[in-house]
Structure 1
């Protein structure tokens, strides 16, 4: 069809271009449209075809996606009944990291329309990326109310609840009981075996996060020290198979890629492997496959490491804890039986000894630098209030590191959560994410004192800070999730860095700015102190861990 010198776009022109789009002839389509005059180019159907082509082609560049986003945005603003255009905006916003504009549209949409799964799902994801746990949790709750069998939404709701000040462990059993009831039971073909093969206990680990995320140092510390004469180690990789997700493969006797298996297929697959003890490393984190545990794939099922609370599934038999995370009188608040390790629930492999601890930043800056490299989701409004008060009362700065996506929009939105009297004085420094682990660790040399988040405390970041000579002030909690910092500092014999409440947290932080010699001595000695503690004694930890597994198995088959 000839588009040269046409005066008015008609239906035949549109259909011809639609076929170009459907047949994947994106370059031809865009070339034709770009040669149209301004009036024809601005024809609504033509602009939408152009925008769709920009995002659908395989080699679409960021700038092209931004062009498409702007076209869809303009189209939707002129006709808010055009839902498909809104859905396109929902999809593209994550690719171009543009959230403020779409949030305005979505918030307006929910005021005027009934429940829409795509809209509410997008709102949940955006607020999660922005680190606004309360809002993310609010939308996850609405989703499960409207879609009670949406297990992904249930996990999102349960996980984000752990970030909230109002979350109470005693209320959770009733709160999440509906999740338990909605997990499906399947008719499973394969039977579960209680037999050991070759006299070894077959222990499986399952997660989508074998890709070098924050569990690596803990998991490696265990795997490297497990007695292979007594245990056979099997990995089930729920993530995509690639070099990054397979980097631990040589630590396993048997490695399985199971990303593509549906739940029933996965249940039968794992049962065929005759696993004696299966350890879940993700809990309610993204990409979990908790329904397989409801259908029991191993005689003993355990939750450990990547998730710090109950899964709310009675079929998961044990949750691994330590004496400081779950009190004896609180065991009834968790669906699983509590398996106590004597000192700490997870020991981290020692970091690189070559990582140099530099002089205290205070000695150069003449002010105290506080810092936290925790995920922004953990930085609640109450955390911001407390940190702001500390900054206001002291000659200090606060260094934070952007989590997840990092762009100017996210930074500005995050900083706007702090009082103006803090941000106007440039008391907060936001560092960029580091691609290389070593560069990330070296950033701790910029910090004098670490500040822990609450109620969801740091774990890996705290271990990293300690390795670099940075003590971390934490707050006492009331459940597993909120007591991790407490357990770490007790094991490190740093009880003076555990605050009783937020007032005490502020008081301690302010006082530590006046005790520079104490901080300086910790800078020099904390790594060695940590190496002598349970934090990095992975061999001892592994022996304790494996003894517990052995005892559980003997009890099971006796």
Structure 2
């Protein structure tokens, strides 16, 4: 094979010309129709162009033609995962692990990918076993510690203390990377000065965290607070452009290291840094560890402690984190009562539609990420559906587009007495408006546990659909009841599983009241703490001011 042909494909990719790269790769395959290099090249080009479904065929053929080539297996693994064919991806990953020396540099990363895929397929015990085994071989691997801590938020049988211990272990792992002598900042210690506040996140775009961040930025008191946003992700969109109009400065540091971020922040000299991603954006954990400002906080983007000693404050409320929750955080807890979040509904949202039970059967539903599903949830939702035998159940999530995984979910429900005929799986939608419009198919939503919904609860409410939430024993399993309280929907909170079923039966049997609630829901939200954007912004900024005053009183620099 002429190496110049491969070089021409790579050159087109480097120039960002994906169409030309695909044309050249197809020409290459035409000349060498069964060559694994040509097959893998086209598969890789299609993957880069996000044409994962098309890429699968060529990646499979490359592996079949050269079954011992690790690179081809990696390409196949990538395209299968993105094409939603995770069951097949699992088989590829298991093959790669079997042929990888545990002492090889790539072994830890492969174990992380394998364990992550397992828990996304709801095999939580298997995932935990892979993490524990891998950490026994790679005890200092940051990625494994990070992934294990994240997974345990979803693990249905984990205690809050176990989950906290893993987060603290991650913080302890990176603590020695912090400067031996803490940085000294030149910020003026004036308790009433205009505060410079840095927001750092990879999600300053069309992402669910913007629903909750935007009210703060939109209603900021610009005479007393100056906000700077640090975007650490490549994608930007029209929402990014809207956010830029609220702040004094915008810094784009895509895929930058913690040192890059810290250097930029030390130049900008914010008084307070607020992380809104935590474990979903590893460089920010390292940034907090290095300390980029006199006061460092975490809020919103991750439902647990950072575990990082140099992160000073975590913003929560008295329902998500009641007195005593301090034992589960390395940060000091600051409560934004009555609710730690406030929503700004998507401007793309349509009107509230009539409930399905106005013209047909009663319908329960969930639009949550399926990784939040587990057998305990299936058992409780099965009890709900058995208690309301005429009801239907709808589910919507991209993972359900995979037939093999959808069958796993069906079998889990069938084990608890719910037939597949009562279930409907809604298709993936292309826009936020189309997604929200599908709430017309739901009377009452059901919230999973231990990892509650957040945006799903807020969006459902805005579309007139209340969510039944079960009270848990840590932040990740108490967000639901906090949001319902903030929405003035206390009657949809349950303290026990029996009460959860009772709440569902009660509302399924009182359709006039439910339909009235649906029609009045938006007015109810706007009159609630969760919908009071100006009020929330004032509470948020008051918390920042109080922290700064305390900092000044201690004379810290």
Cα distance in structure 2, aligned partners of 1:189 and 1:313: 14
| 1:24-57, Cα deviation, whole Å (9 max, x unpaired) | 47455323223xxxxxx4xxxxx31232232244
By percentage of residues, which structure has more helix?
2
Q: Which runs of 5+ in 2 are unaligned?
A: 10-23
| 1:310-340, Cα deviation, whole Å (9 max, x unpaired) | 1111211111111111121221221111101
2:89 aligns with one of 102, 116, 121: 102
Matched, 1:54 2:49: no
Query: Relative to 1, partners in 2 of residues 1:321 and 1:28: Cα closer, same or farther, differing over 3 Å?
Result: closer
| 1:280-312, Cα deviation, whole Å (9 max, x unpaired) | 001211455201101110111111111121111
Give the match for residue 12 of structure 1. none
Query: Relative to 1, partners in 2 of residues 1:289 and 1:423: Cα closer, same or farther, differing over 3 Å?
Result: same
Contact 1:190 1:271 in 2 (8 A): no
SS at match of 2:273: strand
Q: Which runs of 5+ in 1 are unaligned?
A: 1-15, 35-40, 42-46
Give the match for residue 392 of structure 1. 386
1:539 aligns with one of 528, 531, 534: 534
Shift of 1:22: 5.3
Aligned length: 528
| 1:243-275, Cα deviation, whole Å (9 max, x unpaired) | 357331111101001124322222122111111
| 1:174-201, Cα deviation, whole Å (9 max, x unpaired) | 3333312221525599752332799410
Contact 1:314 1:336 in 2 (8 A): yes
Matched, 1:436 2:431: yes
Cα distance in structure 2, aligned partners of 1:423 and 1:72: 42
Query: Relative to 1, partners in 2 of residues 1:171 and 1:190: Cα closer, same or farther, differing over 3 Å?
Result: closer
Contact 1:17 1:29 in 2 (8 A): no
* Structural mapping, 1:132-531, within 5 Å: 135-136=126-127, 138-183=129-174, 184-187=176-179, 191-195=184-188, 199-240=193-234, 242-244=236-238, 246-247=240-241, 248-286=243-281, 288-350=283-345, 355-365=350-360, 367-394=361-388, 395-403=390-398, 406-419=401-414, 424-531=419-526
Contact 1:218 1:349 in 2 (8 A): yes
Shift of 1:513: 2.0
Structure whose alpha-carbon radius of gyration is higher = 1
Shift of 1:351: 5.3
SS at match of 1:202: strand
TM-score, normalization: structure 1?
0.86
Q: Which moved more, 1:466-475 or 1:272-281?
A: 466-475
| 1:419-438, Cα deviation, whole Å (9 max, x unpaired) | 26866442111112322222
Give the match for residue 32 of structure 1. 31
Cα distance in structure 1, aligned partners of 2:97 and 2:498: 39
Contact 1:90 1:119 in 2 (8 A): no
SS at match of 1:328: coil
Query: Relative to 1, partners in 2 of residues 1:90 and 1:351: Cα closer, same or farther, differing over 3 Å?
Result: closer
Cα distance in structure 2, aligned partners of 1:190 and 1:421: 57
Q: Which moved more, 1:352-361 or 1:425-434?
A: 352-361
Cα distance in structure 1, aligned partners of 2:356 and 2:329: 43
Cα distance in structure 2, aligned partners of 1:412 and 1:457: 23
Query: Relative to 1, partners in 2 of residues 1:130 and 1:299: Cα closer, same or farther, differing over 3 Å?
Result: same
Cα distance in structure 1, aligned partners of 2:26 and 2:518: 59
Cα distance in structure 2, aligned partners of 1:503 and 1:72: 54
Give the match for residue 65 of structure 1. 55
TM-score, normalization: structure 2?
0.86
Contact 1:391 1:427 in 2 (8 A): no
Query: Relative to 1, partners in 2 of residues 1:504 and 1:477: Cα closer, same or farther, differing over 3 Å?
Result: same
Contact 1:350 1:536 in 2 (8 A): no
Query: Relative to 1, partners in 2 of residues 1:524 and 1:189: Cα closer, same or farther, differing over 3 Å?
Result: closer
Give the match for residue 92 of structure 1. 79
Contact 2:183 2:291 in 1 (8 A): no
